[in-house]
Amino acid sequence: MANYRNDNYRQICFVAVNLEEQLVPGTFEHTLHYLIEHYLDLSDFDADYRNDETGRPAYHPGVMLRIVLFAYSRGIFTSRQIAWHCQRNVTFMALACHEAPHWTTIASFVSQHPAAITKLFERVVLVCEEQGLLGHELIAIDGCKMRSNASRSHSGTLKELAKKRDKIRARIQHALSEHRRFDASDENEAAQDSAQRANTLIKAAERIDAFLDQASPRMGQGKRPSEVKSNITDNDSATMKTSHGVIQGFNSVNAVDSKHQVIVSAEVYGAGPEQATLVPVLDAIRERYQRLGIAEDVYASGLIVTADTGFANESNMQHCHDAEINAYIPDNQFRSRDPRFKDHLTAPSRQRTRKHKPIYPVSAFHYDPVAQHCVCPTGKTMRLKKHGLDEQGNQKAFFEGRLSDCRVCPKRHLCMRNPGSADHRKGHGRQVSFLTEKKRSYTEWMRKRIDTDRGRAIYGHRMHVVEPVFGNIESNKGLNRFTLRGKTKVQSQWDLYSLVHNIEKLQRYGRIAV
């Protein structure tokens, strides 16, 4: 007969664990612990507590930061999971000093200390500077659109939301009538289902009513701002187009130093377009470096700033020019002007399949800038309609053909794409414009900078500086959506994940606890 060792699971054993020995030097948890103990001032958290005279003692901010940041570094981002690991994972126990905060305490800590967490992020940036991790040569800026904790189905303009509420009210009346019908026929189960459906719809309508009573139209950005969609669940978030479809989320914009990919600025914006975020990010970097004593004007030393085409517009280029920022930001035609992409852009798959009917170009018209006189290709004089600005702000002279001339012109089919269109019935023929005074274009200034060999080489560094940072946070750390609501709370969560990334850089390249 086989002889086995005893396998009694009812026995009790005591395991002696030295918590300090669980934090092995060279690991992320040891770097995190040593950084909080010896480098970071956590006194900013004290202002958020009011328990000095009454109330239960709170968990130390250092303990909460250790377990939250370590959890984020391991792809654990829900407070319930963090609380579970604090009771069962020995590394979490060591970082928490064998404390076991409730999950509600952990969730409150992440969401209720936005100012203190932002200052903590700045102090870690300063530690990175002291450790020599910032190169001050090139900063790459980019944005990443992430889903918010809000449903896109709850989005719409105020008018659209009002229509949605009216439709819900109609469904409520239908559900109530169904309930009365089933109740009269003693179909109890169906009557209960219809009553529950009516109650759910009533709550949805009341929620929209409460939002519409307090909300004002949310206006977009640009020269002609129009109303954009609001969201009932989280009105700080926005509807955004991404490569994976349309989402309800936030645009997370990071500025990354090129030497060791340290994040020097981490901001979230509830707007899809990135053009409006460039100037605030540039100003935030300058102010942060001044506040930390790193540089009075970080751009005065010739620091290079790169960003992709999503940040390019005329006002941003003018800001970089006037502020003397050494920026390289291409427009959306950058690749088409690059000779290295000539063969790629002219491949058969890239050719346009739509064919336009050939018409006389503007160059076929004779324009006399002195006499302000224009003659069409058939020798007919065109009348001067006005002097005005085009969409780019250039001064132009606008001419149009007389309807009596264009209607009987034998070459009208070669001059206008739609000779029988409503334009003829409106009383004018072919329209052309000529440049009289070109506005100074800062986009052209940037185009000349980036179209050089040096400009293309500098811009080529952008991708491998900033893109791996988002890859680390999204893929390695598992942050593919925000779990909090409201810009302030989402900013805290983004700061904490950016903190994790920077602490990893200190672990690998710094001299913390060495």
- 122-147 CB burial, b ≥16 within 10 A, e <16: ebbbbbbbebebbebebbbbbbbbbb
Q: What value does the mean pLDDT of the chain take?
A: 87
Q: Is the pLDDT of residue 246 over 80?
A: yes
The CB-side HSE value for 17 (13 A sphere, CA atoms) comes to 15
Query: Which among 383, 176, 140, 150 is positioned nearest to 278, based on CA atoms?
Result: 140
* 90 band by pLDDT with thresholds 50, 70 and 90: very high
pLDDT in tens, 429-480: 888 999 887 777 888 889 989 989 899 999 988 989 999 999 999 999 988 8
Distances from the Cα of 464 to the Cα of 141, 302, 449, angstroms: 12, 21, 21
Backbone dihedral region for residue 285 (phi beyond 0: left; psi -120 to 50: alpha; all else: beta) = alpha
Is residue 35 scored above 90 in pLDDT? yes
Q: 20 vs 494, which has greater pLDDT?
A: 494
Give the residue-averaged pLDDT of 143-151.
Answer: 90
CB 432 within 8 Å of CB 359: no
Q: Which residue has the higher pLDDT, 340 or 81?
A: 81
Give CA–CA dist 186/184, Å, rounded: 6
pLDDT (tens digit per residue) in 183-201:
778 778 888 888 888 899 9
Q: Is the pLDDT of residue 493 over 90?
A: yes
**What is the reported pLDDT for 422?**
42
pLDDT digits (tens, 9 = 90+) for 279-313: 999 999 999 999 999 999 999 988 999 999 989 98
* Residue 360 pLDDT: 84
pLDDT in tens, 326-344: 999 998 888 888 777 766 6
Strand partners, 307: 141
Measured CA to CA, the distance from residue 103 to residue 13 in angstroms comes to: 29
Q: Given a cut of 90, is residue 507 above it in pLDDT?
A: yes
pLDDT at 356: 55
Q: Which residue has the higher pLDDT, 423 or 101?
A: 101
pLDDT the model gives residue 47: 87
Query: With bands split at pLDDT 50, 70 and 90, how would you rate the model's confidence at 424?
Result: very low
pLDDT at residue 427, as a whole number: 63
The 10 Å Cβ neighbour count of residue 210 is: 11
pLDDT of residue 465: 92
Instruction: Give the model's pLDDT for residue 50.
Output: 84
Position 262 scores a pLDDT of 95
Q: What is the pTM of this model?
A: 0.80
Return the pLDDT at 191: 84
Instruction: Tell which CATH classification among 3.30.420, 1.10.3470, 3.40.50, 3.30.70 matches the domain 138-149+243-338+451-493.
Output: 3.30.420
Instruction: Please state which of the ranges 4-13, 110-119, 137-146, 503-512 shows the lowest mean pLDDT.
Output: 4-13
pLDDT digits (tens, 9 = 90+) for 165-189: 899 999 999 888 888 888 778 778 8
- Per-residue pLDDT at 502: 95
Q: What one-letter code names the amino acid at 412?
A: R
Per DSSP, which regions of 339-493 are E strands?
366-368, 373-375, 381-389, 395-400, 431-437
pLDDT of res. 404: 83
Does residue 346 register a pLDDT over 60?
Answer: no
pLDDT, mean of residues 104-109: 94
**pLDDT exceeding 90 applies to what percent of the chain?**
44
Residue 13 clears pLDDT 70, i.e. is over it: yes
The arithmetic mean of pLDDT across residues 46-71, rounded, is 90
Strand, coil or helix: what is 252?
strand
> Could you tell me the residue ranges of all domains in the chain?
19-112, 138-149+243-338+451-493, 158-216, 362-439
